[in-house]
């Protein structure tokens, strides 16, 4: 088996190709990226580039856009001359008032809860990585996988707006138009997906490696 | 997959010796629990068949009426693309583009990429630039959101139920089938099988 010192690819001076998972020996003094994978041609990197800085930038950008996304209306309904603008939250409240609890819950979870949860988890992961925390790395990795998986479901509201503007197009009788809030909300979803992509979960485990080193006797 | 080769976990970088993983079993990382290998029976054939079926469904889903909207005897029929076009007309080209990419373009690119990789590989003649296409396939996968769009349809139907009658068209059923076909296709895809097939003739 391996020597206890070489527990991770990085500590064994190996690079794992991000696309085809081929292990490649890292040339001494190699730059980042250290060339290309001999099998699939992807750039070889030990970790995602500038992961912490990039993820922070995207998280902050998403937080900024989160405000107009929730304050500005996402749709404008014109029905027989009466104009009504709806934000994400007013849509949820409308569903609660009309007794459609399941739909209210779906929209609230997908549009309000998930983006916020995702941003909070990413911030927790970033801070813990920066503090070189050794706190429950397995659970933090699991949290990361959750943020990766749930982000896409926030698109539900954007899709609902798309379908509504297509269907409710009846001239003076009833008309639905998309409003600026929808664009900001779409930006939040896209930015948080990129934020989750730019975070490298291996950083969670790197703190453990550096602290483990003294016990290694190859 | 060769026996006992070393592999680094993509989520925590732990080096581990890979056992021979039988079909239908999953190898997970001993430290963080990430899925390292999940070989499937007839992975290549199944993925290819499902990708071809998906292409047919995607074409149908974009050709036939998607949803009908019936109010006071008046019926408005829309295509999958109608909403996207409306968003564009209402001065939201960026949102229209996002919806177009996530519901039409990304699934189409995903399916075409799979057919491009798998069809020549089936005859043991890897397609040129196969790895570029595979890398590209992996980066577009998160943007293919057909199942989320379906939830959007359900929410819209409930929202409009009081106002009018919604009639699902042929395209809506094709789209629904596409979701399952696409999910089955991606889950039966086994990257390790592709690498070993590629390395075999050498």
**CB atoms B87 and A160 under 8 Å:** no
End-to-end CA distance of chain A: 12
pLDDT of residue B202: 52
Query: For residues B143 and B150, what is the distance between their CA atoms, to the nearest angstrom?
Result: 15
**CB atoms B86 and A169 under 8 Å:** yes
| Among B157, B149, B148, B152, residue whose Cα is nearest residue B69 | B157
Average pLDDT on A138-159 reads 94
Q: What is the DSSP string of B86-155?
A: HHHHTT-HHHHHHHHIIIIIHHHHHHHHHHHHHHHHHTT-PPTTHHHHHHHHHHHGGG--HHHHHHHHHH
| Among B157, B171, B173, B152, residue whose Cα is nearest residue B65 | B171
- Shared-domain flag, residues A176 and A107: yes
- Shared-domain flag, residues A28 and A84: no
* Assigned domain for A218 exists: no
The tens digit of pLDDT for each residue in B36-62 reads: 988 888 889 999 999 999 999 999 999
Q: What residue segments make up the domains of chain B, in order of their start? A: 1-39, 41-199
pLDDT of residue B177: 96
The tens digit of pLDDT for each residue in A33-72 reads: 778 888 888 888 889 999 999 999 999 999 999 999 999 9
Report how many Cβ contacts below 8 Å link chain A to chain B.
185
* Assigned domain for A22 exists: yes
- Shared-domain flag, residues A124 and A35: no
**In angstroms, what CA-CA distances link A7 with A127, A212, B5, B26?**
25, 10, 15, 22
* Assigned domain for A191 exists: yes
Which helix (H) or strand (E) is A61 found in, with range?
helix A51-71
Name the range with the highest mean pLDDT among A100-104, A181-185, B69-73: A181-185
Query: For residues B103 and A162, what is the distance between their CA atoms, to the nearest angstrom?
Result: 11
Structural domain total, chain A: 2
- Shared-domain flag, residues A29 and A68: no
- Shared-domain flag, residues A55 and A26: no
Chain B residues close to A167, C-beta within 8 Å: 67, 69, 76, 78, 83, 156, 160, 166
**CB atoms B160 and A167 under 8 Å:** yes
pLDDT of residue A13: 86
- Shared-domain flag, residues A30 and A120: no
Q: Binning pLDDT at 50, 70 and 90, where does residue B176 land? A: very high
* Closest residue to A160, CB basis, from B102, B142, B152: B152
**CB atoms A155 and B11 under 8 Å:** no
Q: Give the domain CATH number at A129.
A: 1.20.140
* Assigned domain for A168 exists: yes
Q: What is the DSSP string of A126-195?
A: HHHHHTT--S-HHHHHHHHHHHHHHGGGGGHHHHHHHHHHHH-B-TTS-EEEE-HHHHHHHHHHHHHHHH
- Shared-domain flag, residues A35 and A54: no
- Shared-domain flag, residues A180 and A164: yes
Query: For residues B158 and B169, what is the distance between their CA atoms, to the nearest angstrom?
Result: 17
| Among B44, B115, B174, B86, residue whose Cα is nearest residue A175 | B86
Question: Which of A10, A165, A188 is the best residue to mutate to test the B interface, defined by the most B CB atoms within 10 Å of its own CB?
Answer: A165
pLDDT of residue B70: 86
- Shared-domain flag, residues A105 and A131: yes
**CB atoms B195 and A23 under 8 Å:** no
Q: Binning pLDDT at 50, 70 and 90, where does residue B201 land? A: low
- Tokens 């009658």 locate to B165
pLDDT of residue A6: 53
- Shared-domain flag, residues A90 and A152: yes
Which helix (H) or strand (E) is A25 found in, with range?
strand A23-25
Range of the domain at A7: 1-46
Q: Is residue A182 pLDDT above 90, yes or no?
A: yes
Q: Binning pLDDT at 50, 70 and 90, where does residue B170 land? A: very high
* ipTM of the prediction: 0.90
* Assigned domain for A69 exists: yes
Question: Which of B72, B83, B182, B190 is the best residue to mutate to test the A interface, defined by the most A CB atoms within 10 Å of its own CB?
Answer: B83
- Shared-domain flag, residues A66 and A165: yes
Longest dimension (CA), chain B: 69
Q: Is residue B75 pLDDT above 60, yes or no?
A: yes
Query: For residues A165 and A111, what is the distance between their CA atoms, to the nearest angstrom?
Result: 19
Chain A residues close to B72, C-beta within 8 Å: 173
- Shared-domain flag, residues A27 and A72: no
Q: Is residue B194 pLDDT above 90, yes or no?
A: no
Average pLDDT on A157-168 reads 93
């Amino acid at each position: 088996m391996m020597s206890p010192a070489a527990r991770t690819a990085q500590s064994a001076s190996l690079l794992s190709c991000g696309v085809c998972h081929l292990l490649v020996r890292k040339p001494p003094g190699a730059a980042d990226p250290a060339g290309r994978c001999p099998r699939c041609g992807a750039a070889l990197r030990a970790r995602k580039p500038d992961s912490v800085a990039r993820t922070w930038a995207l998280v902050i950008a998403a937080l900024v856009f989160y405000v107009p996304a929730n304050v500005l209306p996402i749709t404008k309904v014109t029905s027989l001359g009466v104009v009504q603008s709806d934000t994400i939250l007013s849509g949820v409240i409308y569903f609660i008032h009309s007794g459609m609890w399941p739909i209210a819950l779906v929209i609230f979870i997908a549009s309000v809860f998930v983006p916020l949860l995702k941003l909070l988890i990413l911030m927790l992961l970033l801070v813990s990585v920066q503090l070189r925390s050794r706190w429950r790395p397995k659970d933090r990795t699991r949290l990361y996988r959750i943020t990766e998986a749930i982000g896409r479901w926030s698109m539900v509201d954007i899709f609902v707006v798309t379908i509504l503007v297509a269907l409710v197009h009846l001239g003076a009788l009833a008309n639905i138009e998309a409003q600026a809030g929808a664009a900001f909300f779409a930006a939040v979803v896209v930015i948080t997906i990129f934020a989750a992509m730019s975070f490298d979960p291996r950083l969670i485990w790197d703190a453990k490696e550096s602290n483990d080193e003294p016990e290694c006797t190859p | 997959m060769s026996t006992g080769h070393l592999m680094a976990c993509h989520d925590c970088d732990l080096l581990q010796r890979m056992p021979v993983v039988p079909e239908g079993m999953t190898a997970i990382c001993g430290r963080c629990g990430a899925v390292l290998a999940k070989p499937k029976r007839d992975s290549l054939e199944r993925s290819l068949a499902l990708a071809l079926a998906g292409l047919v469904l995607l074409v149908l889903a974009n050709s036939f009426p998607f949803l009908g909207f019936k109010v006071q005897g008046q019926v408005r029929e829309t295509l999958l693309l109608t909403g996207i076009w409306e968003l564009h007309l209402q001065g939201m080209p960026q949102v229209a583009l996002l919806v177009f990419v996530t519901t039409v373009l990304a699934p189409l690119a995903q399916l075409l990429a799979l057919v491009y990789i798998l069809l020549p590989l089936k005859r043991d003649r890897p397609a040129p630039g196969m790895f570029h296409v595979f890398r590209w396939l992996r980066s577009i996968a998160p943007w293919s959101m057909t199942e989320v769009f379906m939830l959007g349809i359900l929410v819209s139907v409930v929202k409009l139920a009081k106002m009018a009658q919604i009639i699902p068209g042929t395209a809506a059923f094709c789209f629904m089938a596409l979701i399952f076909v696409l999910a089955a296709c991606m889950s039966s895809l086994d990257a390790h099988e592709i690498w070993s097939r590629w390395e075999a003739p050498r």
